[in-house]
Amino acid sequence: MSLQETLSHYVKQAVKSDFNVNLETVEFQATRKEFAGDITVVVFPMLRFIKGNPVQIGETIGNFLVENVEDVKAYNVVKGFLNIEINDSYYINFFNKIMNNDLFGFVAPKAEEKAVMVEYSSPNTNKPLHLGHVRNNLLGFSVAEILKASGKKVYKTQIINDRGIHICKSMLAWEKFGNGETPETTGLKGDKLVGNYYVKFDQEYKKEIQNLISKGSSEEDAKKNAPLLLEAQKMLLKWEAGDKEIVELWKKMNGWVYDGFAETYQNLGVNFDTLYYESNTYLLGKEFVAEGLKSGVFEKEEDGSVWCDLTEDGLDKKIVQRADGTAVYMTQDIGTAIQRIKDFPDVGGMVYTVGNEQDYHFQVLFLILKKLGFDWAKNLYHLSYGMVDLPSGKMKSREGTVVDADDLIDDMAATAEEISEELGKLEGYSNEEKKELYKTIGLGALKYYILKVDPKKRILFDPKESIDFQGNTGPFIQYTYARIQSILRKANLDSNVVFSNVEMALQPKEKELIKQIQLFPEVVQNAADNHSPALIANYTYDLVKEFNSFYQNVSILGADNDTEKAFRVQLSHVVANTIKNSFKLLGIQVPERM
């Protein structure tokens, strides 16, 4: 039973015995710094059930707790707040229990619980990954790790958008203008080469539109009737019909892209347990469109297109299959969800990491799956996130708008190098060690800066600001971890010691640090419940601030006696381990030296 649960039990007993009232809940909060106490009971909500002065009610409960709860040392009442002081022995006992548990705060998966599938990345195979994909990957990967730490079995997945008109545009442009070039002949990553042809298609398509307009066509008609677009549409129909040449070209160019993606994922430090391809799942989606037509969930229009009428649910009508029989995004998303449950029957829910411009799409998808009769559809969650903006001119970009993920990762390492050299922090490192450390700092800065913000908020990402060694940044936290490792190397830690709660008295800074460590399991659970890595990031920053305050005010290696020294060294070790575990949940590495 946690301290809060114990206190809640005895507060309810006090209220029952002294006021003959059965309280359902007790409200707690952290004690304000200016008052003595470790935890505060808020008395005001009790006034709905108890007639009387809040100060007197607080005094009555406080006396009861001191008399009946071994861990309660003293109390004070400020207006309607009962501040409770806890004995040092409680914190020392807690610390003895967790100090050698390297996985403190993490919960082992429960065999009987349904698994969760987390989808992220999900790129199109017509261009390289960009800054938007970076936030998507970091969020999805981190949420998957947090859910795992909270006790869930998790599968990480992505759906690769490898079919559709946009894919055919890259293919057609390469066929027309590529002269047979390959990643090998150009020295380009495969995803970048294919992306160049997607851009090329757009350039040539715009020329054709202007040409048709100059011949008297309206802009709307020119966009529909440009020969390149008509050719791309014809290519899509041929692909869906299984045309051998088109399918071979599609396989070849997608293969180039997958190799490029794999390199970017490795550099970014994310991975997947399983992959899905729209080219497979859209067919299952079409099967369920046919099923939905039979059951009345969908209806066919005169032109042959199939729709789902959601107006009675406060939404609108949504197309699920075009008049020519080709699939739309909704078709393949229906198929993908169903296929995943077929493949992994232990999955009871899914998390979709997709930008907030798709909020409506997922409302519709989840509702359609419920209407199709799938019970698991009630456990689908859209992890919606805001866009990432950059100060202009800070990064390389294609056409001045899209920031390439590979360029961003390289630029972060370069910025880390520039700032580290200025600060002169890396004396005595070999060039290879420096290079590895710049990457760790740069990536840590990027990931922390993005993940410390609530997913729903839009981000203005400033690379230089993210690599500051002061303040709420990844490098500041990494530097604190490295500082603790230095202390531990000098101290030669003995992990077998047990601290006596009779002989020891805690310094206020030691107690505050233990209280902060104590919060970690609850923070992990809250972050999992809210799908929010920001809760982990900001908790870690608070822990590091608390440690630095302890470090500046209490001598660790120069303690008055061996017991004090051993305790403070062991406390530093637990802080470092908690930082490491927190950052692991964010996908961030911590350097042993900095």
Question: What CATH number does residue 15 fall under?
Answer: 3.30.1360.70
- Does 213 fall in a domain? yes
Same domain, 490 and 545: yes
- Does 366 fall in a domain? no
Same domain, 69 and 179: no
- Does 176 fall in a domain? yes
Q: What is the pLDDT along the chain (594 residues), one digit of tens a residue?
A: 789 999 999 999 999 999 999 999 999 999 998 999 999 999 999 999 999 999 999 999 999 999 999 999 999 999 999 999 999 999 999 999 999 999 999 999 888 889 999 999 999 999 999 888 999 999 999 999 999 999 999 999 999 999 889 999 999 999 999 999 999 999 999 999 999 999 999 999 999 999 999 999 999 999 999 999 999 999 999 998 999 999 999 999 999 999 999 999 999 999 999 999 988 888 899 999 999 999 999 999 999 999 999 999 999 999 999 998 888 889 989 999 999 999 999 999 999 999 999 999 999 999 999 999 999 999 999 999 998 887 764 433 334 457 889 988 999 999 888 888 777 667 778 888 889 999 999 999 999 999 999 999 999 888 788 888 889 999 999 999 999 999 999 998 766 777 776 567 899 999 999 999 999 999 999 999 999 999 999 999 999 999 999 999 999 999 988 889 999 999 999 999 999 999 999 999 999 988
Residue where one domain finishes, among candidates 326, 345, 364? 345
Task: Please classify residue 236 by burial: count the beta carbons closer than 10 Å to its beta carbon, then call 0-12 exposed, 13-18 middle and 19+ buried.
Answer: buried
If phi > 0 it is left, if psi is from -120 to 50 it is alpha, else beta; for residue 168 that is alpha
Same domain, 571 and 483: yes
- Does 104 fall in a domain? no
Provide the CA 522 distance to its chain's centre, in angstroms: 17
Considering its fold, how many domains does the chain have in total? 4
- Does 558 fall in a domain? yes
- Does 508 fall in a domain? yes
Same domain, 327 and 436: no
Sheet of 274-277: strand order equals 274-277, 154-160, 115-119, 347-355, 380-385
Same domain, 423 and 569: yes
Its pTM stands at 0.91
Same domain, 552 and 454: yes
Same domain, 508 and 552: yes
- Does 94 fall in a domain? no
Residue where one domain finishes, among candidates 345, 363, 387? 345
Residue where one domain finishes, among candidates 64, 86, 108? 86
Angle, CA 321 vertex, CA 315 and CA 326 arms, to 5°:
150
Q: Virtual CA dihedral for 583, 586, 590, 594, nearest 10 degrees?
A: -110
- For residue 177, count other CB atoms closer than 10 A to its CB: 14
Distance CA 585, CA 540 (A): 11
Same domain, 498 and 564: yes
DSSP state of 124: B
Sign for the pseudo-dihedral over CA of 471, 475, 481, 484: negative
Distance CA 188, CA 281 (A): 30
Distance CA 113, CA 92 (A): 34
Same domain, 191 and 286: no
Task: Please give the backbone phi and psi of residue 194, each rounded to the nearest 5 degrees, phi first.
Answer: -65, -40
- Does 295 fall in a domain? yes
Same domain, 250 and 285: no
Among 113, 104, 105, 106, residue whose Cα is nearest residue 153: 113
Same domain, 473 and 574: yes
| Residues 6+ away with beta carbon under 8 Å from 76 | 35, 36, 37, 62, 83, 85
Same domain, 245 and 324: no
> Domain residues for 304?
281-345
